Structure 1
C-alpha cells in the first residue's frame, strides 16, 4: 500500500514535470526560431538597402553631367529659340534611352519645364510648372535635390534627382532625372518577399505585398498630412482613410533599426518585422516574415516533450509494480534515454540554425558579387564602344582607298593597303580577346612592352584620321627604346586616344602640328603628346578626365576616353597629366615605371 502511494505521488510528479518540460520546450524552441527569423530579416535588410543605394547611385551624377552640356546651357540662355529647344529635346531623349532613366527634363528658375525627353508624348512635361516640388526647391537652395513621389502629369511614381545650373550671372535653372524604382518592387513580389520602403512621413510607397502600398505605418499627424498635400506627393491617393499597417502591433512606427514590431498578417497570423533607415531621404526599410512556422515548430517540440513525459510517467507507473531492482534498472534506462533525446534535439536545432545561417550568408554573398559584376559590365560597355570605333573607322578608310587603287589597276599599293587592313583586323581581334577575360576572376597579365613599338602602332591606327586632318604627327625617338610593364593593347588604346584628341584639336588650323616625344629619367618613362590647337581653358582643365564630360558640342564623343585612359594607366602604376603648351595648345604627359634591366635581360 505504501509502495502504491509512493508510486502514485511519483506518477503525479512525473505528469507535472512533463507539463513543465512541454512549456519549457515551447519557449526554448519558439525563442530559437524567432532568433533565426530575426537574423534572416536583418540580412535581408542589408541586401535590400545596398540594392536601393546601388540603383540610385547609377543616376546620382546624371543631372549634373547633363547640366554641363552646351545644348542645355543654350536652351537656358535662349528659351524662346526653337532650334535650341529642339536640340535639347533630342539630346534629352537620347541620353534617357542610353542611361535607362525614366524621364529627363530641364526647368527654368521659376520651375517651368523648357525641354523634356517625353516632349512629343502624351503627358509631356514641357510647359508644366513644378515649382511646388521639394526637389526643385532643394536644388535651387542647396544645389541638389532628391524626392520620391507620384508624377502629377503622368500619374506614374518615380524617384526625382535634381541639380542646379550655375553661371557667372547666378542661378539659371534645374536639370531633373526621374528614375523608376518599380523594378525593385516587381522583384520583391515575384520572390514573395514581405519587403517595403516607407518615406519620412511613414507612408509605404514600394512594397512586395500589394496590400501594404500607400498605407502609413502609423496614423498620420495633421502636420504630415498637410505637408503631403502641399507637395502633392501621392497625387490621387486617399491617405487619410488608409488603415495604418502597424495598428495590430506597436502604436507608432519605429525610429530606426532597433526594435522588432508585430504587424497583422493575412488570416490574422502575426508578422515579425525589422526596420532599417536609409539616408539621406529619411526612408525606412521594412522586412517581415510570418511567425506561424516558428509557432508550429515550438508546438511540435512542446508536444514531443509532453508525450515523452507522459510515456515516461506511464513507464514509471508500470515498472513500479515490479521488483525494486528491476524498477531501478528501468529508471536508469529511462533517465539515459531522456538525456540522449534532449541532447539529440538540441544538436538538431543547432545544426538547423547553422545550416540556415550559412545558406543565407552564401546567398547574400552571391547576390553582392552579381551586383558588382553587373555594375562593372555597365562601365565596360562604354569602353568597348570607344575602343572598337577607332579601328573600325580606320579600317573603313583603308579599304575605301584600296578599292580606289584597285580600279586604277595598281597592284602594288593595293597589296600594301590590304596588308594594313589585315593589321587593323588583328588589332580588333586582340581587343575582343582581351574583353573575353572580363568574366574571369584573374586580371590581364602585365608583359614587357616596347614603348616605341606601341607609339608606332598607335600612329599607324590614326594615320587615316591624320590624313583627313592634313597633319602628320611627328615622332623621332633617340636611343634604344625602354621596356615598360603593361598590356600592349591597353597601352596602345591610351596612346590612340591622346593622339586622336590632339588631331581633333588642330583640325581646321592653318599650321596644325602634333608631336609625340619619349624620354626616360631613372625608373620613370615619360611620353608627351602635344598640339598647337586652341588649348583648354583653365576652368575646364580639372574636369576633362571626368566620365561623360566632353567639349565636343557636335556629339562626336561621350566624354569617356580620358576617363578610361586614366583607369588603364592606374593599372600600370602610371598617370596622365594635362597642361597648357607655352605657345598655345595642350600637352598630355603619360608617366609610368620602366622595367628593371634585370627583368628585361631575363625575358
Structure 2
C-alpha cells in the first residue's frame, strides 16, 4: 500500500495550459518589442549622424564657395589694365607683351594665385605671370578649354581640371577682355584647391567632391580620385576627353562601393574597403549648383550599430528582470495555495517545495550575479543585507565589506554627504521618487562613478515589508556623452559666427576691391609721373598709395580679429561697449546698404554678467538682419534704432528697423533651426541667438512695428 505522506502525485502542482500560453505570448512579445526598440534606436542614431553630416556639409560648402569667390574679381580686374589691353591689341609688339607679363606676374604674386595669363581669340597664350618659368604658359594653346570658350563668347568662365602644361589640377576662372565694345581676348586665373585637399586629408571619415559627370576630383581618400559614382555615359566621356578635363586619363571606373538606400532613412549606406578593411559609412550628398559640383560627406556607421546592440542588451536585461519578477510572483502564488492543503499533503509538499525553492533561489542568484545592474538590499534599519557582484564592481568594495554596514556607507562621495543623507532619509521613509534619482559615488580606487538609483519595498514571504531593494545603474558613460554634447554645441555656436561672417563676405570683398583697384591706378600714375619727372604729382600719388594701403590693412585687421576671437567665459559686460564694438564691425555693411544707425543707450546702465563675445554675436546678427530687411526700403527711411534701458534689475536691448516686417505665416517658425527666408541663408542665426540668450538666463522676442518693420527685444538680468 502506498503511503499517502510520500505520494508526491497528490500534491504536484503543474502549470496550466493558460499559464504556459501566457508566458509563451509574453516572451514572444518581449522579443519583438526588444527587436523593434533596437531598430528604433538605430534609426534615431542614424538621424543624429545625418544631422551632424548636414552641419559638416554646410561648413565644407562654405569653405569651397569662399575659395572660389576669393579670386572672382581677379580676371575682370586684370582685363581692365591698359598693359593687358595693349598686348592683346598688338600681339606682335614684344615690348607691350613684356609689360603685360610683368604686370600679370606682380598681380599674381600679390593675390597668391597659381597663375594669371591672357589668351588671344585663337586660344594661344600671349602673356602670363609665369612667363619666365620653364613650364610657363606663353605660347600654349587652350582653345579647347571650356573656360576659354565661355569667355570668348562674352561670359565669365569657371572650370576645374588638370593643367595641360603643368599636369597639376586647379580651378580656372576667366573673364573676357573688352575694349571699346570689342572682345580682344580672355584673362584666366588658376587657383589651387590644395589647402582644402590637405584639410580634408586629416578628416576621420571620407569627404569627396565630384563634378557634374559624377567623377571624383577632390577628396580625403586618394584611391577614389578620378573614379565615378556611376557609369559615365558615352556623351559625358566624349566631352571630358574633348576638353582634356583630367589630362591623359581616358577611363573613369566606378568607385568600389556597395550602396544601400532605405526608404525614410536620411542619406544612404555605403559598404566598401579601405586599407584592406571592410568599412560601412552613412553618406549624404549635397549639390552645389553655383559651382556645378556635388559634395559627399560620410560618417562611420559603427555608431548606429552600437546604438542598436546597446538597446538590445538593455532590453534583454529588462526582460530578464520582468521574467524573474513573474517567476517570483508565481512561486508566491503556489506557496499560498500549498498552505491551504491538508496537513498530510503539506508534509509532502514541504519536502518538494524546499527542493524547488532551492533551485529557484540558485537560479535567481545566478541571474542576479550575471546582471550588469547593481542590486542592493537593506533592512528597515538601513543595514545592508545583500549586494550582487555588479554593485561590488561599481563601488570597488566586496560583498563581505558592505553587508551589515549602516550609513554612511564607505562608497558615499565625501563632497556629496549632505545629498546622500537626504536621499537615504527619503528612501527609508518610502518617499523616494519612482523615476529614480542620480547619485555620485566614490569608487574604492578613488575615481567618481555617476549612478541612477531605483528603490522599491522588499516584501518577505508573509507579505510584510522587511526592507528596501535598490537597483543601481552606472550612467558614467551617459554623463560623459552629455559633456561631449555641450562641447559640440559650443563648436556649433562658433561655426555660426563664421557663417554670419560669410554673409558679409561679398560686401567686405567689394570694400577691399576698391582700395586695391585704387592702389593699382595710383601706382600706374606714379610710374608715369616718375618717367615725366613731375615730382609734385609723383609725391601726391605715393601719398594716396600709402593711404589706400592703410585702409586695406585696417579692413583685413578687423576681419581677422573677428574670425580669431574666442569666448572668454563669464565676465561683467558693459552694454555701451558691446553696442560700439558691433557697430564698428558692421560699419562697411551699413555704408553699402546706405543706412543709418541711431543708438539710445541709457546712462548709466548696470553691468550684465555673461560671455561678451557671444552677446556681441547676438546683437551683430540682429542688426545685420535689420539692414538686409531694408534693402527695398527707400534710402531716407533705412534707419536701424538700437535702444538700451534698465527696468529694475533687467536690461532691455531693442533693435528696430523699417523693413516689411514678419508675416504671420512664418512668425511661429522664425526661431526654428534651418528655417530661413534668405536664398543663401543657413537658417541658424536666430535659433543660435535664442540659445545663447537663454543660456544667459535671458529672453529673446520680437513684434511687428506700427507703420512697417520689426522690433527684436533682448532681455538680460543685470548684476544689481
Aligned to 2:268: 261
Supply the distance in 2 between the matched residues of 1:431 and 1:236 (Cα, whole angstroms): 43
Query: Quick check: 1:275 aligned with 2:406?
Result: no
Contact (CA 8 Å) 2:259, 2:268: kept in 1 or not?
A: no
Contact (CA 8 Å) 2:512, 2:552: kept in 1 or not?
A: no
Aligned to 1:182: 194
User: Which has the bigger relative contact order, CA under 8 A and spacing at least 6?
Assistant: 1
Query: Quick check: 1:297 aligned with 2:307?
Result: yes
Query: Quick check: 1:361 aligned with 2:512?
Result: no
Supply the distance in 2 between the matched residues of 1:216 and 1:245 (Cα, whole angstroms): 9
Deviations 1:335-366 (A, max 9, x none): 9899989x999xx7997997587356325314
Aligned to 1:210: 222
1:158 to 167, 170, 173: 170
* Mapping for residues 34-53 of structure 1, pairs under 5 Å: 34-53=46-65
Pair 1:183–1:372, CA change in 2 (3 A): farther
Ranges in structure 2 where 5+ consecutive residues have no aligned partner: 1-11, 338-363, 365-431, 437-451, 455-470, 523-548, 563-580, 587-596, 599-635, 637-720
**What is the count of residue pairs matched by the alignment?**
396
Aligned to 1:137: 149
Pair 1:9–1:318, CA change in 2 (3 A): farther
**Higher strand content, 1 or 2:** 2
* Mapping for residues 173-572 of structure 1, pairs under 5 Å: 173-240=185-252, 242-244=253-255, 246-249=257-260, 260-265=267-272, 266=274, 267-323=277-333, 358=489, 361-368=492-499, 439=561, 441-444=581-584
Supply the distance in 1 between the matched residues of 2:282 and 2:551 (Cα, whole angstroms): 55
Pair 1:34–1:326, CA change in 2 (3 A): farther
Aligned to 1:458: none
Task: Give 1:317 shift.
Answer: 1.7
Pair 1:282–1:245, CA change in 2 (3 A): farther
Pair 1:325–1:109, CA change in 2 (3 A): farther
Query: What TM-score, normalized by structure 1, do the two folds share?
Result: 0.57
Deviations 1:442-473 (A, max 9, x none): 44599xxxxxxxxxxxxxxxxxxxxxxxxxxx
Task: Give 1:130 shift.
Answer: 0.2
The 3-state SS of whatever aligns with 1:107 is strand
Supply the distance in 2 between the matched residues of 1:238 and 1:434 (Cα, whole angstroms): 47
Deviations 1:398-422 (A, max 9, x none): xxxxxxxxxxxxxxxxxxxxxxxxx
The 3-state SS of whatever aligns with 1:320 is helix
Contact (CA 8 Å) 1:96, 1:117: kept in 2 or not?
A: yes
Pair 1:103–1:355, CA change in 2 (3 A): same
Query: Quick check: 1:92 aligned with 2:70?
Result: no
The 3-state SS of whatever aligns with 1:124 is coil
Task: Between 305-314 and 377-386, report the one with greater CA deviation.
Answer: 377-386
Task: Give 1:95 shift.
Answer: 0.7
Supply the distance in 2 between the matched residues of 1:112 and 1:445 (Cα, whole angstroms): 45
Pair 1:283–1:377, CA change in 2 (3 A): closer
Task: Give 1:156 shift.
Answer: 0.6
Pair 1:360–1:271, CA change in 2 (3 A): farther
Task: Give 1:384 shift.
Answer: 11
**Higher helix content, 1 or 2:** 1
Over the aligned positions, Cα root-mean-square deviation in angstroms equals 4.5
Kindly name which structure, 1 or 2, has the bigger radius of gyration based on alpha carbons: 2
Pair 1:444–1:354, CA change in 2 (3 A): closer
Aligned to 1:518: none
Task: Give 1:437 shift.
Answer: 7.1
Supply the distance in 1 between the matched residues of 2:550 and 2:123 (Cα, whole angstroms): 51
Supply the distance in 2 between the matched residues of 1:65 and 1:15 (Cα, whole angstroms): 76
Supply the distance in 2 between the matched residues of 1:435 and 1:128 (Cα, whole angstroms): 37
Pair 1:126–1:433, CA change in 2 (3 A): closer
The 3-state SS of whatever aligns with 1:284 is strand
